[in-house]
Amino acid sequence: MTASRTTATLHSILDPLGVHAEHIDVVWQTMLWVCGVMFLIVFTFGVLAVMRGRAKHQGQDVTPQHRKFSIALVVWTTLVVLGLFGLTMTSFFTDRALVRAAAEPDVLIKVTGYQWWWDVQYLHSDPSQRFKTANEIHVPVDAQVLLQLNSQDVIHSFWIPNLNGKRDLIPGRPTEFTLQPRQIGIYRGECAEFCGLQHAHMAFDFVVEAKEDFERWRQQQLASAPTPPDAKTQLGLSVFMDSACSMCHAISGTPAFAQLGPDLTHVASRRMIASGTLANTPENMRRWIINPHDPKPGTLMPAVSLPDEQLDALVAYLGTLK
């Protein structure tokens, strides 16, 4: 279990692995090359001018040749105009391509930003096919993914560097965003707009998988939480219901339905906890429950102090929520 949990995630704007990122990469490459060549030309002529100034200082004849000068000026002006025109057209066609790529969605997901985690709802015309999760989004490879982005408190920004640019989540102004990943893998997504103390701990996993794997995951997420299999986990569930946990979190299939914190129905199936802050292990879960302010100072999750036996039972119960 630990091996897969420490696997490095895909996280680079220089490695476009989605349709949108590929379009954006064309702009980046064009800008880099056009501006790089222009810079070299300007730099070369700057050096030549300095050398010319020195030659003049040493008494050599450097009378300008007007004809050569005029030709150089025309060539340079043409280069600048062509360069700027090229950049403008690249940007224009990329914008068009990005909008066109947003046509018919295969998956529709509503993502809401909170200080400091992501609420994820899979929408569907059939209510029985809807479900909720948090800080981990799964999609099938090559699917057109339409995201409805929203914020519940301050401005956040949704960003998966390998797949598309950034999109701000502004409270009261829902917006739409599309992705089309081309390669299977776990991508690191993150908040790209400073949103308070734990902005840097507002990450999420974006899991791109084969269609069958996604369908299996979706069926598992649609199911209610399993009933506790033994006495210890049964005690864990009662601890969950009787302590502060159930005042903020929901576990479908139990009486816990609060919406203030992440939905925990299948928390054990997630790779990370605390929005990409800690690997999802029993030790970390324990640490997170008794003192969440240690790994994540300022988090709105309160510390829950419990006797050891109850804490063990709670962690064991949460571990059954696959």
Binding residues vs ligand CUA (CB under 6 A):
113, 116, 156, 191, 193-195, 199, 202
Report the residue number, 192 or 237, with the smaller CB distance to ligand CUA: 192
Report the residue number, 116 or 214, with the smaller CB distance to ligand CUA: 116
Three-state DSSP class for 246?
helix
Report the residue number, 79 or 154, with the smaller CB distance to ligand CUA: 154
Distance CA 189, CA 18 (A): 14
Report the residue number, 111 or 191, with the smaller CB distance to ligand CUA: 191
Q: Phi/psi at 218 (nearest 5 deg)?
A: -65, -45
Burial of residue 300 (CB within 10 Å: 0-12, 13-18, 19+) is middle
Closest distance between ligand CUA and the C-beta of residue 137, in Å? 16
Closest distance between ligand CUA and the C-beta of residue 185, in Å? 24
CA angle 133, 265, 115 (to 5 degrees): 45
Place of tokens 């050599």: 60
Closest distance between ligand CUA and the C-beta of residue 117, in Å? 9
Report the residue number, 191 or 267, with the smaller CB distance to ligand CUA: 191
The partner residues of 177 in beta bridges, in order of sequence, read 147
Closest distance between ligand CUA and the C-beta of residue 151, in Å? 8
Report the residue number, 113 or 292, with the smaller CB distance to ligand CUA: 113
Q: For every residue of 158-224, which 3-state class applies, written as one string? A: EECCCCCCCEEEECCECEEEEECECCCEEEEEEECCCCCCCHHHCEEEEEEECHHHHHHHHHHHHCC
Q: Which of 284, 1, 275 is nearest to 111 (CA)?
A: 275
CA angle 158, 161, 163 (to 5 degrees): 90
Closest distance between ligand CUA and the C-beta of residue 285, in Å? 23
Q: In this structure, which amino acid lies at residue 314?
A: L
299 contacts 261 by C-beta, under 8 angstroms: no
Closest distance between ligand CUA and the C-beta of residue 191, in Å? 3
Closest distance between ligand CUA and the C-beta of residue 226, in Å? 32
Report the residue number, 175 or 243, with the smaller CB distance to ligand CUA: 175
Q: What is the per-residue burial (b if ≥16 Cβ within 10 Å, else e) of 33-53?
A: ebeeeeeeeeeeeeeeeeeee
Closest distance between ligand CUA and the C-beta of residue 182, in Å? 27
Closest distance between ligand CUA and the C-beta of residue 154, in Å? 7
Report the residue number, 193 or 209, with the smaller CB distance to ligand CUA: 193
> What residues contact residue 299 under an 8 Å CB cut-off, 6+ apart?
116, 198, 201, 274, 292, 293
Report the residue number, 94 or 151, with the smaller CB distance to ligand CUA: 151
